[in-house]
Amino acid sequence: MYDVIIIGAGVSGCAVARELARYKTRVLVLEKEEDVCCGTSKANSGIVHAGYDAKPGTLMAKLNVEGNAMIHKLCRELDFDFAPIGSLVVCLKEEDRPRLQELYDRGIKNGVPGLKIIERDRLLQLEPNIADNAVCALFAETAGVVCPFGLNIALAENAFTNGVEFEFNSEVRDIAFVDGKWQVTTDKEKYETKAVVNAAGVYADKFHNMVCDSIINITPRKGEYMLLDRTCGGYVRHTVFQLPDEMGKGVLVSPTAHGNLLVGPTAEDIEDKEGVNTTPFGLDKIASFSMKAVKNVPFRSVITSFAGLRAHEDGGEFIIGEAPGTDGFFDCAGIESPGLTSAPAIGRYLAEMIRDKYHFAVNQEFNGKRKGIIRPKNLSESELNMLLKDRPDYGEVICRCESITKGEIVDSIIRPLGAKSLDGVKRRTRAGMGRCQSGFCSPKTMEIISEMLGIPLSEVTKSGKGSKIIVGSNKDEI
């Protein structure tokens, strides 16, 4: 019998799992995909929002501001990539100035530190490529950019090394409260637990409505993006937003935590909870919208496009807590933007609520520190030479676009909750994320996965079941 079963290994589920590991608990995370970070947490803007967007007094506002402060510290404890570059909301018409002021006032009410409104001259100094008609901007110094995979994977690894169990390829099909405990049934097993955490992203309404009479409704709100080559990463230095509208924060232009340039997202309500395709219409829209705020974005350097789905609940607020009328079913639902920023605070908030209900004792052995994969390109010459003495594979470059070595790929596979597929390696190391989008390195990476996992090359997948890369042979076996 588990104390807590968490449905979903996205950033929310993994943040809750890590915080629960601070207590003497038996916790299991069930994930339908083959790895952590396979849902919305892998396809977003990666912005650590300052916290001026959400309405004062909401859970979204509180957890955004708390999460932002936690990430500034957590990136050192858990060793993931985060750059505190600051953000700008650009006002393009003098008559829109009151709307910018409203954002500033909201930020002050939400407790966001370091906010200022800057005028055109200063804005031009900060961002030389800003549109000619830009009037002024809201500058938020606490905003930043994070590697979304890095944050999610670090939280999961640290939860795991502190005793949390993970089951992948385990799709939860049914939940029922029987004889004072929860029965959680997957496509493979039936588990028993005192409490359930519903962190199933766009599917969280399905599980909530299974056990609770007050119905919730989550609409997948699609956001499409274009990612540009690292040669363009300095085109803007801050995350540049335009004034938000009722569908969200609008199209942004931003450097990523790894120095690419990201442009997007769109915001379109759809029905398909797996509908992550991009469309010519969406990409055209991003191009025309982004250039209202930033001049001549170098779209010739686009290396890929992708889309993510916001879990938009009808009430437009995070739903976090024990579902009404249940005994131990905790929602972590409607976690749309700023969910990535808020995740560490969501984890703490919900774990403390569950601890208080079940009186969990403190786990004195909890170790909140985690070391990421060694990056040879960040080492000094002498450090690199020392490393190469023991591990010459850190000198063998596999992904030339991103300068990723065999040693890093091996580490990504053998470390706790290691990679099992090409995408798993990519999210942990960036092998295949560069200009050629894995055109050159994937055969070599596949060979390393095959060798390290002891499986035939033909069994290596792109992203788990149904995605084998080798589907036959074009010559007869000799």
Ligand X SMILES: Cc1cc2nc3c(=O)[nH]c(=O)nc-3n(C[C@H](O)[C@H](O)[C@H](O)COP(=O)(O)OP(=O)(O)OC[C@H]3O[C@@H](n4cnc5c(N)ncnc54)[C@H](O)[C@@H]3O)c2cc1C
Catalytic site residues?
49
Q: Could you give the CA distance from residue 242 to residue 225 in angstroms, rounded to a whole number?
A: 16
Q: Could you give the CA distance from residue 234 to residue 142 in angstroms, rounded to a whole number?
A: 19
201 lies in the binding site for ligand X (CB under 6 A): yes
33 lies in the binding site for ligand X (CB under 6 A): yes
200 lies in the binding site for ligand X (CB under 6 A): yes
Nearest by Cα to 341 from 87, 57, 117, 98: 87
Q: Choose one: 52-60, 93-101, 338-346, 422-430; the region binding ligand X (CB under 6 A).
A: 338-346
Max distance between CA atoms of the chain, in angstroms, equals: 75
41 lies in the binding site for ligand X (CB under 6 A): yes
Which position among 39, 86, 344, 432 is part of the footprint of ligand X (CB under 6 A)? 39
Pick 31 or 229: Cβ nearer ligand X: 31
Nearest by Cα to 369 from 135, 96, 86, 80: 80
| Residue 29: strand pairing partners | 6, 166
Which position among 62, 310, 370, 426 is part of the footprint of ligand X (CB under 6 A)? 310
Neighbours of 210 (CB within 10 A): 13
CB of 173 to ligand X, least distance (A): 7
313 lies in the binding site for ligand X (CB under 6 A): no
User: Which residues make Cβ contacts (< 8 Å) with residue 167, sequence separation at least 6?
Assistant: 28, 29, 30, 31, 186, 189
Q: Choose one: 79-87, 303-311, 379-387, 460-468; the region binding ligand X (CB under 6 A).
A: 303-311
171 lies in the binding site for ligand X (CB under 6 A): yes
Rg (CA), the chain: 23
Q: Which two tokens stand for residue 348?
A: 């703490």
Q: Choose one: 85-93, 284-292, 302-310, 402-410; the region binding ligand X (CB under 6 A).
A: 302-310
66 lies in the binding site for ligand X (CB under 6 A): no
CB of 252 to ligand X, least distance (A): 8
Q: Could you give the CA distance from residue 309 to residue 319 in angstroms, rounded to a whole number?
A: 17
CB of 230 to ligand X, least distance (A): 19
10 lies in the binding site for ligand X (CB under 6 A): yes
Residues 232-271, one symbol each (x = binds ligand X by CB under 6 A, - = not), give ---------------------------------x------
Which position among 2, 4, 5, 8 is part of the footprint of ligand X (CB under 6 A)? 8
328 lies in the binding site for ligand X (CB under 6 A): no
Which position among 199, 263, 413, 433 is part of the footprint of ligand X (CB under 6 A)? 199
Residues found in the chain: 478
Q: Could you give the CA distance from residue 109 to residue 450 in angstroms, rounded to a whole number?
A: 54
Nearest by Cα to 24 from 361, 431, 349: 361
**Alpha carbon separation from 23 to 193, 195, 310, 358 (Å, rounded):** 16, 14, 31, 11
107 lies in the binding site for ligand X (CB under 6 A): no
Which position among 5, 13, 22, 344 is part of the footprint of ligand X (CB under 6 A)? 13
Q: Which two tokens stand for residue 56?
A: 């004062």
Can you list the positions of beta strands (E) in 53-106?
82-83, 87-91
3-state secondary structure of 408: helix
CB of 332 to ligand X, least distance (A): 6
CB of 341 to ligand X, least distance (A): 3
Provide the b/e sequence for 95-128 (b: ≥16 CB within 10 Å): eeeeebeebbebbeebebeebebeebeebeebbe
Pick 186 or 442: Cβ nearer ligand X: 186
- Find the binding residues for ligand X in span 340-399 (CB under 6 A): 340-341
Q: Could you give the CA distance from residue 71 to residue 84 in angstroms, rounded to a whole number?
A: 10
Pick 143 or 448: Cβ nearer ligand X: 143
CB of 38 to ligand X, least distance (A): 5
Which position among 45, 219, 429, 461 is part of the footprint of ligand X (CB under 6 A)? 45
Which position among 20, 28, 47, 345 is part of the footprint of ligand X (CB under 6 A)? 47
Using Cβ positions, the residue closest to ligand X within the complex turns out to be 339
Nearest by Cα to 319 from 392, 217, 403: 217
Q: Choose one: 18-26, 29-37, 130-138, 358-366; the region binding ligand X (CB under 6 A).
A: 29-37
Contact residues: ligand X, CB under 6 A: 7-13, 30-33, 38-41, 44-47, 49, 171-172, 199-201, 203, 223, 265, 308-310, 335-341
